[in-house]
Amino acid sequence: MTLLQKLEGGMTCATAKSLVDLGEAFGYLLKDGDIVALRGDLGVGKTTFTKGIAKALGIADSVTSPTFNIMIQYIGMINLMHIDAYRLDDCECLEVWDYVQRPCVIVIEWPERLVELQKNITHDLRITIRKNEKRWIILKMLNKKIL
Ligand SMILES: Nc1ncnc2c1ncn2[C@@H]1O[C@H](COP(=O)(O)OP(=O)(O)OP(=O)(O)O)[C@@H](O)[C@H]1O
Ligand SMILES: [Mg+2]
């Protein structure tokens, strides 16, 4: 079974470190143009998972929560555009494509608040908290490739 197949069935992460490691393993499977949606409540681990993705893309900077900046681009072998749409107003548009430097993967926290990228999401992940702070993460592959 591949990692994507396992994630489609749902996986458990007992610690923040294991969520970073899973993000890294997942990140190696990403390619230019992929758009990853990360859904789940405040503090569930979306940014933690993104730290792992950044590691896989060859990004040396440490990824922090972009809540106050909304969107931050990190330069790596593949660049990472990290968006946290939590504070966006309805229908606000970021014109993300004007800012991305290819090759680039886009990761969006709170994707339901950013209409412009929704139809192009390639990987849709949801994280939930289970007993004893364990995280459950499940993937829906959308297989829609942009550009
Ligand atoms: N099993 C676990 N997996 C992941 N994170 C965990 C786990 N147990 C505890 N944590 C903690 O939960 C927090 C997750 O924070 P993180 O910033 O990643 O959440 P977030 O989903 O990005 O929140 P926000 O919506 O506010 O951006 C971290 O402080 C992390 O240490
Ligand atoms: Mg976050």
Q: What's the domain count of the chain?
A: 1
Identify whether 36 is part of a domain.
yes
- pLDDT at res. 144: 52
* 83-87 own/partner pairs: CB under 8 Å, 24+ apart: 83/107, 83/108, 83/109, 83/114, 84/47, 84/108, 84/109, 84/110, 85/109, 85/110, 85/111, 85/112, 85/113, 85/114, 86/42, 86/110, 86/113
Block residue for tokens 């072998």: 77
Q: Show the tokens assigned to 114.
A: 């950013």
Q: What is the pLDDT tens value at each position of the chain, 147 positions in all?
A: 999 999 999 999 999 999 999 999 999 999 999 999 999 999 999 999 999 999 999 999 999 987 677 999 999 999 999 999 998 887 788 999 999 999 999 999 999 999 899 889 999 999 999 999 999 999 998 865 544
Q: What is the CATH number of the domain that holds 73?
A: 3.40.50.300
- pLDDT at res. 143: 63
Identify whether 51 is part of a domain.
yes
Helix (H) / strand (E) element for 136: namely: strand 135-141
Atom of ligand 1 nearest to the CA of 13: 1
Instruction: Pick from 18, 36, 47, 51 the residue to mutate for probing ligand 1's pocket: most ligand atoms within 8 Å of its CB.
Output: 47
Identify whether 146 is part of a domain.
no
Atom of ligand 1 nearest to the CA of 40: 21
Tell how far the Cα of 2 is from the centroid of ligand 1, in angstroms. Answer: 25
Tell how far the Cα of 147 is from the centroid of ligand 1, in angstroms. Answer: 32
Task: Specify whether the CB–CB gap between 117 and 111 falls below 8 A.
Answer: yes
Tell how far the Cα of 12 is from the centroid of ligand 1, in angstroms. Answer: 14
Closest residue (by CA) to atom 5 of ligand 1?
Answer: 16
Task: Specify whether the CB–CB gap between 126 and 138 falls below 8 A.
Answer: yes
Q: What range defines the domain where residue 119 resides?
A: 3-141
Tell how far the Cα of 39 is from the centroid of ligand 1, in angstroms. Answer: 12
Identify whether 57 is part of a domain.
yes
Identify whether 104 is part of a domain.
yes
- pLDDT at res. 147: 46
Identify whether 122 is part of a domain.
yes
Identify whether 126 is part of a domain.
yes
Identify whether 74 is part of a domain.
yes
